[in-house]
Chain A
């Protein structure tokens, strides 16, 4: 007997075919003519439009300094951080001990339930790396894999993302070309543009609906 799948495909194939419309060529995006520094400027400006906060520093020492300031500003006690190389290089546990901040990593937990309990109920901030920063809309792109858990950039009220200046790209297509290589696809790739938001009650927009209420981006390099 013919299954649903085959029946659907057969009926679609039976239908009268229509001409495939000819593609048109779009003029190159504005970002194509910009320098890397201009991309960074645009990224920061677009991020700012979405209330995202932008810092730039030369190296890891600079990142830790910014973080130490954030601890005081935001009153952070509990931070959960991703295991991305860019983050582990910061040696956050040592830094945390010095700052009086408890730092944990997803794989510290014995099971997923414990991890979820912390990321949902105890972490004041989630700290992750971002694989790319996209100039066109101030967007972060994060590849979620074993060292980049999904909930870190979503469940805590504050999301701190660290991204390298060399990974600033002009448009979304640049991310796609680098990420989806040779038929290899990450289980999830996420574009993040500003904190979570809504305007569902009478069109009144506010940040921090289900996800982070605040997004801070630290660019290194």
Chain B
């Protein structure tokens, strides 16, 4: 997938004027938040239930190497094949070879963020293997060659006429319609044909259970289940942090992921595979390949300040509540992961240098943290990343701010620590700034203030400084004060 993280602001500006995105984004906080609240209320103690989610995820991370080994051992024992991939390239090469060795001419996919991170579609297509995304939203996004707009609703901002046009153009349906149900039905028939004769299905993994070697997928449409039932070869990809200690914990996380994502108590389907089909079983894969992908995560894991980003379970709950995402939508983030979780994962996986805006596009309101069922403190990590950027931390690929900014702050610190200089400068500066005042507001300013004021107004500065006014009051106390 093409990385466009550097165009964050430019795309955000475009998206502000995209009426199709607006309809969806304006509904997000109202509808999904209330659904989430209702669903969480089914726990006798919702707050404790959420806290336990964070504890389970933090424990899984602190025991990560041990749990991964246990998961691998049990998955192998059940007959699955496990492949460890250091990076996306290795994972893609493994899948491509598997497809070639089995004369696979097309694959179908269940929605998975990790395979988008890997860019597997491009690799397979370049090698003459057709790829069908089978989640309805992902299918539409793929046809339109668009990145996912929202982790759960990848094409939620595409208006039905546009879907109708692309479906007609690609021969997916014959009779034009804009009815979502009929559009869905056309996609159903089209993909069903692929489901019935596919050799290889690719899915992601929601939870990998160490205790049993079981992989769990949660979904609503049934497309992932087809990918796990119909073909002879099933490839399921997980990043290494997906592992979880036991089935009991998995059940708790299953409740949390559904409630926080769509406000459901559970997705329509939760399928849990332990190994491939057994000999006398009628369907299911002959071969189950589980790919455990690193792609930068062991590096991320080294830093205890950023490690918690790996606790994420990709429910998308933080997107639904984030005031920034609610304005700009998913496109500006420029890669696979959007919203608060993307603001952590993208800079940490790709490096801070191309993701400057990701770490600053946060108001620090903490709604994400308050809603996170995996116990992540997003604002805290972002704050840390800002600090690291200013310090030009090499291990995070940070590019420090320009020399001039550094000089400006140094100058400020000299002035601010000398009373005479402070008084003098604050006297001068208000005269300079007030030159641009209009209706008691400052909307323009010299030098770097130009950009700072581009997005906000500042009240016109008083003619006298605080110190000057204080002196006046001291010399000539107002009567009202004396009378009291």
Chain A residues with CB under 8 Å of chain B are 3-5, 7-9, 11-24, 26-30, 46, 50, 106-107, 112, 115-117, 120-121, 136-137, 139, 144-146, 149-151, 154-155, 171-173, 176, 180, 185-204, 206, 208-212
Given A3-B84, A20-B62, A117-B196, is A8 in contact with B240 using a C-beta cutoff of 8 Å?
yes
Measured CB to CB, the closest approach of chain A to B207, in angstroms, equals: 13
* Cβ contact within 8 Å between A120 and B196: yes
| B332 proximal to A (CB < 8 A) | no
Residues of B within 8 A of A192 (CB): 268-269
Give residues 152-167 of B contacting A (CB, 8 Å): 153-156, 158-160, 163
* Cβ contact within 8 Å between B223 and A12: no
The residue in chain A whose Cβ has the minimal distance to the Cβ of B232 is: A112
* Cβ contact within 8 Å between B183 and A187: no
Given A149-B283, A191-B269, A196-B268, is A18 in contact with B304 using a C-beta cutoff of 8 Å?
yes
Measured CB to CB, the closest approach of chain B to A34, in angstroms, equals: 13
The residue in chain A whose Cβ has the minimal distance to the Cβ of B32 is: A203
Given A3-B84, A24-B55, A187-B275: 19 more A-B contacts, CB < 8 Å: A4-B90, A12-B298, A15-B304, A20-B59, A30-B42, A112-B282, A112-B283, A116-B283, A117-B196, A146-B280, A146-B282, A150-B225, A155-B195, A155-B226, A192-B269, A197-B221, A200-B136, A201-B140, A212-B222
Measured CB to CB, the closest approach of chain A to B69, in angstroms, equals: 7
One digit per residue, 1 when the CB lies within 8 angstroms of any chain A CB and 0 when it does not, for chain B 62-77 equals 1111001100100000
Residues of A within 8 A of B229 (CB): 150-151, 154
Measured CB to CB, the closest approach of chain B to A178, in angstroms, equals: 11
Central interface residue in B156, B196, B276, B299, by most chain A CB within 10 Å:
B196
Number of A-B contacts (CB under 8 A): 260
Residues of A within 8 A of B42 (CB): 30, 136
* Cβ contact within 8 Å between A200 and B137: yes
* Cβ contact within 8 Å between A145 and B225: no
Task: Give Cα A73 to B136, complex, Å.
Answer: 30
A-B contact pairs, 13 of them (CB 8 A): A4-B90, A5-B84, A9-B65, A9-B69, A18-B307, A150-B225, A154-B229, A176-B247, A185-B275, A187-B278, A190-B225, A191-B271, A193-B268
Give residues 109-150 of B contacting A (CB, 8 Å): 134-137, 140
* Cβ contact within 8 Å between A190 and B69: no
Measured CB to CB, the closest approach of chain B to A66, in angstroms, equals: 23
The residue in chain A whose Cβ has the minimal distance to the Cβ of B54 is: A21
* Cβ contact within 8 Å between B221 and A196: yes
* Cβ contact within 8 Å between B62 and A17: yes
CB-contact partner of B268 in A11, A106, A195, under 8 A: A195
Residues of A within 8 A of B72 (CB): 5
Interface residues on B, range: 35 or more
Give residues 249-294 of B contacting A (CB, 8 Å): 251, 254-255, 262, 265-278, 280-284, 292, 294
* Cβ contact within 8 Å between A211 and B281: no
| B45 proximal to A (CB < 8 A) | yes
The residue in chain A whose Cβ has the minimal distance to the Cβ of B301 is: A15
Measured CB to CB, the closest approach of chain A to B94, in angstroms, equals: 11
* Cβ contact within 8 Å between B44 and A209: no
Residues of B within 8 A of A194 (CB): 268
Measured CB to CB, the closest approach of chain B to A1, in angstroms, equals: 13
Interchain residue pairs A-B with the least CB separation, the first 6: A211-B222, A200-B137, A185-B274, A150-B229, A201-B180, A196-B222
CB-contact partner of A144 in B23, B220, B281, under 8 A: B281
CB-contact partner of B284 in A18, A50, A188, under 8 A: A188
Given A146-B278, A200-B135, is A27 in contact with B270 using a C-beta cutoff of 8 Å?
no
CB-contact partner of B48 in A24, A190, A200, A211, under 8 A: A24
| B172 proximal to A (CB < 8 A) | no
Central interface residue in B63, B196, B283, by most chain A CB within 10 Å:
B283
Measured CB to CB, the closest approach of chain A to B381, in angstroms, equals: 14
The residue in chain A whose Cβ has the minimal distance to the Cβ of B271 is: A190
| B443 proximal to A (CB < 8 A) | no
